[in-house]
Amino acid sequence: MANDAGTVFDLVILGGGSGGYAAALRGAQLGLDVALIEKNKLGGTCLHNGCIPTKALLHAGEIADQARESEQFGIKATFDGVDMAGVHKYKDDVIAGLYKGLQGLVASRKVTYIEGEGKLSSPTSVDVNGQRVQGRHVLLATGSVPKSLPGLEIDGNRIISSDHALTLDRVPKSAIVLGGGVIGVEFASAWKSFGTDVTIVEGLKHLVPVEDENSSKLLERAFRKRGIGFSLGAFFEKAEYTNDGVKVTLANGKEFEAELLLVAIGRGPVSQGLGYEEQGVAMDRGFVLVDEYMQTNVATISAVGDLVPTLQLAHVGFAEGMLVAERLAGLKTVPVDYDGVPRVTYCHPEVASVGITEAKAKEVYGADKVVALKYNLAGNGKSKILKTAGEIKLVQVKDGAVVGVHMVGDRMGEQVGEAQLIYNWEALPAEVAQLIHAHPTQNEAMGEAHLALAGKPLHSHD
């Protein structure tokens, strides 16, 4: 169909990652004639270089830790080391199964899939493989790539990105992780589980600095206990090769040496050389600017995912892509409430949150209008069984709704679904306290925290 000069699609999508393929699937479901263009593999960063492979590595690391620590549960097991070839086979098998399923899904929805490197050629067309693909509307969803710093060259040898780290054929003896955000702490956690001596360098004053400060402090305490080193509050200055590794120097003069340096300072948008600016699309620092309905300043062009300056999360891309498809199909759409999006960092222990931090709540509502409560997982039976420590922290507008839920502990990512409902439905603590949570589960801790906030604590101190 792309070769037929007379074909005009309802929607042409440039980029087959989370945002792009979600828009394609939803658009086709709603009767739109959709073309989806992708230069690499359908599924994009999340499936092939992000969410899925990193979580597979983290789970493999969890298994290694369980083998080492099995005796504390009365189980005699031996840990003989990490077989990276085997770990990669496990990881790649997970990816392959999901990739095959996604390809089948796109085909079943009768989306026209075009493999090739596309470029925006007009407000209503994309050029790919020497052909022009016309559409009534174009969706830009070209994603992101790992960022670096001026003067810091990622060479794939001793100075690597997360892409390189996902295919590393060995367990490094030591590593410096530049960046204490989600990507940095997840790789630090996985590598530590595999046996690497890890140090994180973060220029801001806390790990996972966008989270509630209490969550950051709990994670730092847990990482100290695990033997993961970190340097906070001093920015990177330079990196240089040594005889057998890399030396990193910070602005305060501190130096760290290791076998590898992982640059994990975030991801930047893929937008250069793709024709966006030439077609008049408004940009800022490489990001495409959009309104709350993901519409650019050009009437026939929308943009979603990591390409726009919203949360760089796959599930945000899904939501944004579906929003665009539904808008184009004429349905009533509701903008994404980004504060209401669940966020999870899958290190050990996990950090999960939804809503706003206590500091932000005080800024918005006033310090005297904000109530915060911490429920320690030590009071939760299932957490004791799992031997995990941490807290659930609730942030409430006084006599009003819960506006923030912040959790640290193993498997807390599995509790964020209920937290999302509590925030997005503006639930009062007393309303959540009425719900009966199964015992013994970690989910029960959510109920206990709200019981306490409602003034009737059960398994927690007044």
Q: DSSP labels for 7-39?
A: -EEEEEEE--SHHHHHHHHHHHHTT--EEEEES
pLDDT of amino acid 461: 66
SS3 content of the chain, % helix, strand, coil (to 5): 35, 25, 40
Q: In whole angstroms, give the CA distance from residue 341 to residue 150.
A: 32
- Write down the pTM of the prediction: 0.95
Say which residues have a Cβ less than 8 Å from residue 65's Cβ, sequence separation at least 6.
Answer: 193, 348
Give the gyration radius of the chain's Cα atoms.
Answer: 24
Instruction: Tell me the pLDDT of the chain (462 aa) as tens digits.
Output: 444 556 899 999 999 999 999 999 999 999 999 999 999 999 999 999 999 999 999 999 999 999 999 999 999 999 999 999 999 999 999 999 999 999 999 999 999 999 999 999 999 999 999 999 999 999 999 999 999 999 999 999 999 999 999 999 999 999 999 999 999 999 999 999 999 999 999 999 999 999 999 999 999 999 999 999 999 999 999 999 999 999 999 999 999 999 999 999 999 999 999 999 999 999 999 999 999 999 999 999 999 999 999 999 999 999 999 999 999 999 999 999 999 999 999 999 999 999 999 999 999 999 999 999 999 999 999 999 999 999 999 999 999 999 999 999 999 999 999 999 999 999 999 999 999 999 999 999 999 999 999 999 998 765
Q: Which of 59, 164, 348, 439 is catalytic?
A: 439
Helix or strand run (H / E) with residue 84: helix 84-108
**What is the per-residue pLDDT for 170?**
96
3-state secondary structure of 390: coil
pLDDT of residue 459: 85
Do residues 40 and 342 lie in contact, with contact meaning Cβ atoms separated by under 8 Å?
no
Report the alpha-carbon angle 30-34-40, nearest 5: 130
Do 266 and 179 touch, CB atoms closer than 8 A?
yes
Whole-angstrom distance, CA of residue 140 vs CA of residue 17: 11
Three-state secondary-structure class, residue 281: coil
pLDDT for residue 2: 45
Q: How many CB atoms lie within 10 A of CB 366?
A: 11
Amino acid making up residue 98: L
Is 435 within 8 Å of 451 (Cβ atoms)? no
Residue 446 near residue 423, CB atoms below 8 Å: no
Q: Residue 8: is it exposed, middle or buried by C-beta count within 10 angstroms (0-12/13-18/19+)?
A: middle
Q: Cis omega before residue 349 (within 30°)?
A: yes
3 state DSSP class of 263: strand
Q: Which of 195, 188, 193 is nearest to 229 (CA)?
A: 188
Nearest C-alpha neighbor of 398 from the set 429, 363, 356, 353: 429
**Whether residue 439 lies in the annotated active site:** yes
> What are the Cα distances from residue 148, in Å, to 48, 96, 166, 265?
20, 29, 17, 7
In degrees, rounded to 5, the angle at the alpha carbon of residue 239 between the alpha carbons of residues 199 and 190 is 30
